[in-house]
Amino acid sequence: MAKKDIRALSLAQLSDVFKEIGEPAFRAKQVFEWLWSKSETDFTQMSNLSKKLRDFLEENFVINAVQISELQISSDRTIKCAMQLHDNYVVESVLIPHQDRMTACISSQVGCSLTCKFCATGKLKRMRNLNADEIYDQVALVKKTAFEKYNAPLTNIVYMGMGEPLLNYNEVLASVEKITSPQGLGMSPKRITVSTAGVAKMIIKLADDKVKFNLALSLHAANDEKRNYIMPINETNSLDNLIEALNYFIEKTGSRPTFEYIVFKDFNDSIQDAHELVEFCRKVKGKVNIIEYNPIDDGEFRQTSVEKLRAFTDYLEGHGVICNVRRSRGKDIDAACGQLANKNKLAVPQVK
């Protein structure tokens, strides 16, 4: 018989397993702690269990652990990790160090189905969704890397890596639960941001589920014609639909979203574009993160000039919009926003 994935079991289901073999209920809590609080992926290392019980777990269960197969360190100290999954697919995660925080940027899908023109991941096929434990493993491994390389704790998590999180809704929320639970990594949900290209009905579902984490919208254009061109998802999730969904989210959760806006040369960097963004922010209250464009292979876009960027942000601030300019990190190792493509590793599972 095939071994069962132990991390697919709830604590109650794990307790039932131990009850069937005559083990006390607290053993389930011990194993659960090893799995989700200590991030242990080897049954033999669960030292407070008897050898007999460890052997039983080894014979009947499997831990489909994610492993770092390659690690690259940028000149600015950003670290990109190639994460190999149990079926040999590979996704990428990034550790972004700042003076006051350490941020993990993690993936939610193998590839992506959204085909955004400016994003390297969008040029890949979506092969499959990640399971909650695979998303959790990325966080645990990046956390470990932060300690090993910089002797610093992980402080923030952004679901801004490969894939669209809201198209893997259940697994993403299950991973957040494991990351924030006292029986898991115990991180505050306010330290987590989930970024979406804009799936209106799922934003409404987030609101109904009263999530505690932060929400970011990859906006990049505040008129439908331009957004349709660079982000085909806008054709079925127009700006009006998103405005309605986001205001519902604010009403239900009390949390305002962040709008991510990559500024492209001669496409969305004019004062008229800034005016349209101001109007959007008057309809939905939220702050704006202005992001440098990071070139990708065969990309048709270029980074705007310093002068146009300054004029753009000055216009926003002059009209009462809170905005921050986010400088790109890890560009020299293709780890910056929009560059995660895991080149030559996604077409088929890799053979060990």
Q: What is the pLDDT of residues 184-206, one digit of tens each?
A: 999 999 999 999 999 999 999 99
From CA 230, how far away is CA 300, in angstroms rounded? 11
| Residue 296 confidence (pLDDT) | 73
Q: What is the pLDDT of residues 51-62, one digit of tens each?
A: 999 999 999 999
From CA 252, how far away is CA 249, in angstroms rounded? 5
* Helices (H) then strands (E): counts for the chain: 10, 14
| Residue 120 confidence (pLDDT) | 81
Using the predicted structure, report yes or no on whether residue 292 has a pLDDT greater than 70.
yes
- Looking up tokens 């009905």, which residue turns up? 201
Query: Phi then psi for 128, rounded to 5 degrees?
Result: -170, 165
From CA 36, how far away is CA 183, in angstroms rounded? 7
| Residue 112 confidence (pLDDT) | 92
Alpha-carbon distance values, 208 to 85, 102, 167, 212, 250 (Å)? 32, 30, 17, 11, 11
The number of C-alpha atoms within 13 Å of 200 and in the hemisphere containing its C-beta is 14
The overall average pLDDT reported for the chain is 92
The number of C-alpha atoms within 13 Å of 18 and in the hemisphere containing its C-beta is 22
Q: What is the pLDDT of residues 25-43, one digit of tens each?
A: 899 999 999 999 999 999 9
Q: Residues 6 or more apart from 126 whose CB is under 8 A from it?
A: 109, 110, 111, 112, 113, 163
Q: Give the amino acid at 126.
A: R
| Residue 347 confidence (pLDDT) | 36
pLDDT confidence bin for 2, thresholds 50/70/90: confident
Alpha-carbon distance values, 256 to 57, 158, 240 (Å)? 45, 16, 17
From CA 6, how far away is CA 28, in angstroms rounded? 11
| Residue 338 confidence (pLDDT) | 47
From CA 167, how far away is CA 316, in angstroms rounded? 31
pLDDT confidence bin for 334, thresholds 50/70/90: low
Percent of the chain past pLDDT 70, that is, above it, reads: 92
Inter-helix orientation angle 239-253/271-283, to 10°: 40
| Contact indicator for 137, 152 with CB cutoff of 8 Å | no
Give the residue among 71, 161, 152, 156 at the shortest CA–CA distance from 110. Answer: 161
Using the predicted structure, report yes or no on whether residue 351 has a pLDDT greater than 80.
no
| Contact indicator for 260, 220 with CB cutoff of 8 Å | yes
| Residue 122 confidence (pLDDT) | 79
Sign of CA dihedral 28, 37, 82, 264: positive
| Residue 123 confidence (pLDDT) | 81
Q: Residues 6 or more apart from 261 whose CB is under 8 A from it?
A: 219, 220, 268, 277, 288, 289, 290, 291
Instruction: Locate 204 and state its tokens.
Output: 């409404």
From CA 344, how far away is CA 352, in angstroms rounded? 15
Question: What is the 8-class DSSP label of residue 160?
Answer: -
What element of type H or E holds 179? helix 169-180
Q: What is the CATH number of domain 4-62?
A: 1.10.150.530
Q: What is the pLDDT of residues 308-317, one digit of tens each?
A: 999 999 999 9
Q: What is the pLDDT of residues 223-264, one digit of tens each?
A: 999 999 999 999 999 999 999 999 999 999 999 999 999 999
| Residue 344 confidence (pLDDT) | 43
| Residue 255 confidence (pLDDT) | 97
| Contact indicator for 111, 164 with CB cutoff of 8 Å | no
Using the predicted structure, report yes or no on whether residue 343 has a pLDDT greater than 70.
no
| Residue 328 confidence (pLDDT) | 66
| Residue 202 confidence (pLDDT) | 98
Q: Out of 65-79, 197-211, 289-303, pick the least confident.
A: 289-303
pTM of the model: 0.91
Residues in the chain: 352
Q: What is the pLDDT of residues 80-113, one digit of tens each?
A: 999 999 999 999 999 999 989 999 999 999 999 9
* Residues noted as catalytic: 92, 337
Instruction: Locate 21 and state its tokens.
Output: 């073999």
Hey, where are the domains in the chain? 4-62, 67-333
Neighbour count for residue 215 (Cβ, 10 Å): 23
Using the predicted structure, report yes or no on whether residue 70 has a pLDDT greater than 70.
yes
| Contact indicator for 103, 116 with CB cutoff of 8 Å | no
Percent of the chain past pLDDT 90, that is, above it, reads: 84
pLDDT confidence bin for 297, thresholds 50/70/90: low
pLDDT confidence bin for 348, thresholds 50/70/90: very low
End-to-end Cα spacing for the chain: 24
4-62 and 67-333 share one fold? no
The highest-level CATH class for domain 67-333 is: alpha beta
| Residue 346 confidence (pLDDT) | 43
Q: Residues 6 or more apart from 170 whose CB is under 8 A from it?
A: none
| Residue 163 confidence (pLDDT) | 95
pLDDT confidence bin for 295, thresholds 50/70/90: confident
Using the predicted structure, report yes or no on whether residue 335 has a pLDDT greater than 60.
no
